[in-house]
Amino acid sequence: MTRAQSRVGAVVLTYNSADDLPDCLAGLRAQRGVDLQVIVVDNASKLDERARMKAIFHDVLPEGLILAAKPTSYPDASAVFLCNDVNAGYSAGNNIGARFAAESGCKAVLIVNPDVRIEDPDYLANLFDLITADAKTAVACSTVTNLFGKHENPMIEPGFVEELLWPVKMVFGRLLPRQRAVTTLPAHALKVEKVTGACFLIRMDFLRVIRFFDESVFLYCEESILYAQVRATGWKMLMNPGRHALHAHRTTAKGDQLTRYQNWAKSRTQFHAAYGGYGVLGQALLAGSRSLVLGLVRMRTLLKRVLSRAAQMRGGA
């Protein structure tokens, strides 16, 4: 089977993502060199948002089908929109799409956030060549930059001491030496230990080895879990610095900061329990560090509210 005959899935997990979806789908539709199946999974969006996204989906991919999240049959379609009415999180939502891709005969799956922009029409074909060149390559990725030009790949998993000192970094971060930002990368493909969850290609064989994505976390730490799974199974991740995707993520879209950190703390706890290997004492120390982080975030949140209230009172005087 040639590359052009090899089916590749692209799973786009949405949640009230109507503003981002058109550009993401347009970039996927323009891909060439592979038999691409676009799989949009809507994770229990608001009804009006879902209606907008269905209209966008049909506008960009008029041949696409709209189905239930867990259909009774798997039609041979180039694009599907799966309606998931229960939001069980990032991994669970992507698993709906990945399992559909598996049933459709896809050899690999591109996990791509709706706020990712891919302008290179050979992007997916290049990553597919990279991931299939070696039978033990689990993940292939490209450079990914945010709206400020900062590189999100490759990522580095923090060590025990670094994670333990996160509260200190939050308080004295401006006084500590800053980690030098990635500005240049080699021209050739390189092995990496961790990649951003915003955009990566994962091999279907490996997904079956790990029994698809770990659904024990709702949100956050998915990259760390994938890093641990790849490492434990002896597979590898590769990056092609010559290919690029833009992660057009807006910080204001993240929601309440305290809620985000609380979700992060739950996921980090689960990650260490299942994959960290630190033992009871190590996990207890890291749990204490996370408690301090949450305390600092609560203080920051309260301070912002007090300052905001004071500004409102001065403005109304």
Q: Is the pLDDT of residue 1 over 60?
A: no
Give the number of domains in the chain. 1
For 233, list phi and psi in degrees, rounded to 5: -90, -5
What mean pLDDT do residues 240-253 have?
88
| 261 part of a folded domain | no
Q: Is there a contact between 31 and 130 (Cβ–Cβ < 8 Å)?
A: no
Helix (H) / strand (E) containing 109: strand 108-112
* Structure confidence at residue 158 (pLDDT): 95
Looking at every residue in the chain, the average pLDDT score rounds to 93
Q: pLDDT by residue (tens digit) across 284-316?
A: 999 999 999 999 999 999 998 888 888 888 876
| 302 part of a folded domain | no
Domain that holds residue 68: 3-158+177-251
CATH classification at residue 191: 3.90.550.10
| 164 part of a folded domain | no
Q: pLDDT by residue (tens digit) across 7-44?
A: 999 999 999 999 999 999 999 999 999 999 999 999 99
| 206 part of a folded domain | yes
Q: Is the pLDDT of residue 62 over 70?
A: yes
| 309 part of a folded domain | no
Model pTM score: 0.92
Model confidence at 203, pLDDT cuts 50, 70, 90, reads very high
Q: Is the pLDDT of residue 154 over 70?
A: yes
| 31 part of a folded domain | yes
Model confidence at 4, pLDDT cuts 50, 70, 90, reads low
| 207 part of a folded domain | yes
What is the DSSP track for 135-189? TTEEEEEEEEEETT--B--SB----HHHHHTHHHHHHHGGGSPPPPPP----SS-
Q: Is the pLDDT of residue 180 over 60?
A: no
| 63 part of a folded domain | yes
